[in-house]
Amino acid sequence: MALNYKSAGVDIEAGYKSVELIKKYVGETMRPEVLGGLGGFSGAFSLAKIKDMKDPVLLSGTDGVGTKIKLAFVLDKHDTIGIDCVAMCVNDVACAGGEPLFFLDYIACGKNEPEKIAQIVKGVAEGCKMSDAALIGGETAEHPGLMPEDEYDLAGFAVGVVDKDDMIDGSTIAAGDVLIGVASSGVHSNGFSLVRKIFDMSKESLETYYDELGTTLGEALLAPTRIYVKMMKEIKIAGVKVKGCSHITGGGFYENIPRMLPEGKRAVINKDSYEVPALFKLMQEKGQIEEQMMYNTYNMGLGMVLAVNPEDVDKTIAAITASGEKPYIVGSVEDGEKGVTLC
């Protein structure tokens, strides 16, 4: 028998079909700056608008969704994992005060199943719409023999822009500044290697309903990462200059909150200032995990923490609420060794 690419495990026709299936989702994310359609060798994006900025700075963020993807395999639910991928990238751009402009995704799979690829990209497009970013390109790579046929991995990157004067870099954070936490939607996309040790990852286990969660375990864990882009835009429109911003990802409070602080400033957070969601309490109890490890691994119910001037607190809270997010005053900044104190 003559060898061909299909017999080697790569189906070119499946690739064409998946591109056709995703076109409508990609089309929904377009911005006026996008030049050309899907299918070119590169995505083109006009920078004409940036000419109006005094000192434009490009921002970028890249990430994947880690082992959260394993839950999508077990539950055969692939339409929200793309939101996570976008969120992990665009939230980092928003953290610096930037507006995401465009996004590209990369899917590596053992076998290209066009309908499954379309579901993944549907989620990516949804995340792009939520952050006003255009999905201007991507790649689906079939890796027969390298990955199991029914598995895939997903990563992506975002490019954004900010006027240098509007950048959030933490340099002006001072003692007395107020820390505002913004609610997360759950575990987001970090710490799933530990989650998978706490809970049995069988379909039956993930489809178990928990009264305290008000949903099944799988639904609670797969809840997509919140996207805070519109919230940050709303705060800016309200006239507030955010002084520091931390996206609470892998490393939890202990690693991420100090990233926004200048030397000689310490964040003090009151753990009782908000209700830690039931999912984290369940994980801590079931896994017998020490409290410090929980705060060192997970967002514990806060997806972002902002530092603002005391006089801007009311305006910031109002803007966050108007954007559909839930804010809490969680602490303040003090003079001291750079780091975070939980009390």
| Distance (Å, whole) CA 268 – CA 270 | 7
Percent of the chain with pLDDT over 70: 94
| Distance (Å, whole) CA 274 – CA 257 | 17
For the record, the structure tokens of 157 come out as 């990157």
Q: What is the pLDDT of residues 111-170, one digit of tens each?
A: 888 889 999 999 999 999 999 999 998 989 989 888 999 999 999 999 999 999 999 999
Please report, for the chain, the start and end positions of each structural domain, with discontinuous segments joined by +: 12-166, 178-342
For the record, the structure tokens of 335 come out as 């003079």
Is the whole-model pTM more than 0.75?
A: yes
Architecture of the domain defined by 178-342: Alpha-Beta Complex (3.90)
Q: What is the pLDDT of residues 267-321, one digit of tens each?
A: 999 999 999 999 999 999 999 999 999 999 999 999 999 999 999 999 999 999 9
Q: What is the pLDDT of residues 4-27, one digit of tens each?
A: 556 556 566 666 676 777 778 878
Which CATH number is correct for 12-166, 3.40.50.720, 1.10.287.130, 3.30.1330.10, 3.30.420.40?
A: 3.30.1330.10
| Distance (Å, whole) CA 328 – CA 29 | 32
Q: How far is CA 104 from CA 56, 63, 208, 244, in A?
A: 21, 11, 35, 27
The end-to-end CA distance of the chain, in Å, is: 70
| Distance (Å, whole) CA 219 – CA 295 | 22
